[in-house]
Amino acid sequence: MVGVSAGDRGLRMEGLTVRYGDTIAVDGVDIAADASEVVALLGPSGCGKSSVLRAVAGLEPAAAGRIVLDGVDVTAVPVHRRGVGLLFQDYALFPHRDVAANVGFGLKVRGTPRAAMAARVAEVLDLVGLVDFGARAVGSLSGGEQQRVALARALAPEPAVLCLDEPFGALDRALRDRLAAEVPALARRLGVATVHVTHDQEEALAVADRVVVLRAGRVVQRGTPAEVWAAPADAWVARFLGEPNLVAVTVGPVGGVVTPWGPLGGGPVGGGAVPVGPATLLVRPEALQRGPGPVEGTVAAVAFRGDHLAVRIATTAGVELQARLPVGDPPAVGERWTGAVDPAATVLLAPEGDAPPTAGHGDPGPGHAALATEDAR
């Protein structure tokens, strides 16, 4: 946009609320993505992350709050005038149109002259590595190629923000990993603010500059991937991030932590201030050290994970723990286990709280309202 200062570039949501009837899907969230920044919205199904994206795109009205793109309030601006590029999990390509017609759809809607549209289509197809694909039928393409066409279509109108809704979920692991690196890198190079919606924790931590964790329509944590991983906001976030060892403990009046297997020597590292009383101890699998120590039990399962062994231990204290051990010298199932916990690889957390009571569950599917009008134009 002409006249936009560098400080205004990007996306801001201020107090954004989205309702479906009486159900609150998004409950007053504040989220920002600067130009060239990738922000991942991470959360389980029904947490409101897709509703946030739909509101940014204009596919759902905001019940409250506002949406600002490059310094301009677009809360009431129609979909086709917002400057938002959309990439859905199922791509939403038009099967009866060739690649070039799909990529040029947004430009056609905007009234771009034919020659300028052809030049821009060729430019973005080159950007995504499909320079000679313009005349091909989309049905002849592989899943990865179709995803690149959908990305080219989203980028063709030079959007102020790129919205990615579970964009890699339908791809095989190798292709997903490759595109999860390439797409954010391309968005950063083009200077586009990007909001990436996913329920995949590894994907969010890998692609994003910042991660925003949503639960039942509200933001429960935000930070860099390293910050979110190192210090989850509470036990719910840690559990959602895939941590297998969350142990109920008690914090004493002088800061000591009492675990089911006895006092934790040295005290946990990380986490915020946790008051005296019940708490949760995140015990990272690498914290469990095989050998003499207070943790006793039986090896319940051993799983080979390539570069390590995941060993599940049924402790005599009634708690199941998972250890991460080197591949060599694996313990046998049923073998007696003794070991210690390295306090430097633990984090003290507030107990898992209840979900926010006013927030609803169940985002609708992404829908394609902005695309469904194609044949009528």
**Strand 346-349, strand 257-259: pairing:** unpaired
Q: Would you state the pLDDT for residue 271?
A: 52
Torsion sign (Cα): 88, 52, 208, 307: negative
Q: Would you state the pLDDT for residue 267?
A: 62
**CA triplet 324, 328, 330: central angle to 5 degrees?**
65
Q: Would you state the pLDDT for residue 352?
A: 67
Q: Would you state the pLDDT for residue 237?
A: 95
Dmax (CA) for the chain in angstroms is 76
What's the rounded Cα separation, in Å, for the pair 103 and 92?
12
86-95, 323-332, 349-358: lowest mean pLDDT where?
349-358
CA–CA distances in Å: residue 126 to residues 31, 122, 136, 148: 32, 6, 15, 11
> Span 288-296, mean pLDDT?
95
Per-residue tokens: 219: 């933001």
Nearest CA among 309, 300, 295, 310 for reference residue 334: 300
Q: What domains lie within the chain, and their CATH numbers? A: 6-231+360-376 (3.40.50.300), 235-349 (2.40.50.140)
Claim: this prediction has a pTM higher than 0.75:
yes
CA–CA distances in Å: residue 299 to residues 145, 245, 290, 338: 46, 15, 11, 10
Percent of the chain with pLDDT over 90: 67
Indicate the average pLDDT of the chain. 87
* pLDDT band per the 50, 70, 90 thresholds, residue 109: confident
> Span 337-346, mean pLDDT?
94
**Strand 277-283, strand 262-263: pairing:** unpaired
pLDDT digits (tens, 9 = 90+) for 187-218: 888 899 999 999 999 999 999 999 999 999 99
